[in-house]
Amino acid sequence: MKKVIVIPAAGKGSRLQSDLPKIFTAVYQSKSIFDLIIEQGTSHVDEMILLLSPTGKEYFDLYVAPTAPKNVHVWVQKSATGMFDAMDQIFNTLFDQYDHFQLIVQWGDQPFCDSDLHQTLFSDLDKYQVSVPLVWVSSPYVQFNLGKSLSVYESREGEKCDSYGFKDMGIFAFSRDSIESSWPLYKANAPYGKVTGERNFVKFFETIQQKTEIFWRLDQPYYKSIGINTPEELEEAYLFLSQKDQIHQGSRDKL
């Protein structure tokens, strides 16, 4: 059974006021989002795949590939046309390459989903077809409304989210069977967003729940869900890492 992590990261860092592909944006002490992800190691997976834009692939080949782990590979998304199209490319390519796999999808702006979480999700897939970690937050921009039937609301599409609710952590775990049984149905019926006009990915879970049980993992700390899309989120990540370093330094000084 192949254990695979795919990181869709074809987006630009325009909201971060950067000309670099977003995943290579510096966060702390010159470390990029990609550096923070790779610091967790890759020995717990057979393959880590970055889905990059053509420009991102050029940057990777020039500046990153020489020191990247050997099991990190790059696929190219020729046009950054949204996460739905990115995931369709990912799923189809994986089906062509592997008969059996367990898959973790981690958005390319999530540097704090660590190896412990990866291994926890792979363990979940030994029992469940799908595992999704959620955190409870104020003003979620994507809300998973858990009930007899799942509803996923997206504020960017003009859908009203509650003052408090569960949001995803930008990381999801799937068995091959769960994707194979659900993606064709969702692909045929995925709604277009009322604001963006795009077919979005997160509503896929409404379709999956019709086919199989989703394990909702609710035990993860908030900091692992910190994504970096805006200058404010970049500052939050910087402050978190700097405070974490100060705590570690203080502990070392007492030894």
- Let me know if residue 67 belongs to a domain: yes
In this prediction, residue 189 carries a pLDDT of: 93
User: Is residue 228 a contact partner of residue 13, using CB atoms and an 8 Å limit?
Assistant: no
pTM of the model: 0.93
Rounded Cα distance between 66 and 78, Å, is 23
Return all residues near 131 (Cβ < 8 A) that are at least 6 apart: 121, 124, 125, 172, 173, 214, 215, 217
pLDDT-based confidence at residue 126 (cuts at 50, 70, 90): very high
Distances (CA, A) of 71 to 42, 89, 168, 236: 7, 20, 27, 30
Pairing of strands 31-32, 26-28: antiparallel
What's residue 1's pLDDT? 87
CATH code for the domain in which residue 68 is found: 3.90.550.10
Residue 82 · residue 7 · CB < 8 Å: no
Q: What is the tally of structural domains in the chain?
A: 1
Indicate whether 147 belongs to any domain: no
Residue 152 placed within a domain:
no
Question: CA-CA distance, 2 to 95, in Å (whole number)?
Answer: 12
Q: 236 lies in which domain range?
A: 2-134+169-249
- How far apart, in whole angstroms, are the C-alpha atoms of residue 143 and residue 162? 8
The answer to the question of residue 197 being in a domain is yes
Residue 140 neighbours by CB distance under 10 Å: 22
DSSP class of residue 237? H
Written as six digits, the tokens of 193 are: 């967003």
- Tokens 């030894």 locate to 255
Does the residue 160 lie in any domain? Answer: no
**Within the chain, what is the greatest distance between any pair of CA atoms?**
60
Q: For position 81, what pLDDT does the model report?
A: 75
Domain membership flag for residue 153: no
Q: Is residue 142 part of a domain?
A: no
Is 220 among the domain residues? yes
Q: What is the DSSP string of 22-48?
A: GGG-EEETTEEHHHHHHTT-STT-SEE
Percent of the chain with pLDDT over 70: 95
More confident residue, 255 or 119: 119
Cβ–Cβ < 8 Å for 167, 134:
yes
Burial status of residue 115 (CB atoms within 10 A of its CB: 0-12, 13-18, 19 or more): middle
pLDDT of residue 147: 81
Quote the CA–CA distance of 54 and 157 in Å, as a whole number: 28
pLDDT digits (tens, 9 = 90+) for 14-41: 677 677 888 999 999 989 999 999 998 8
Q: pLDDT tens-digit profile of 39-75?
A: 988 999 999 999 999 999 999 999 999 999 999 999 9
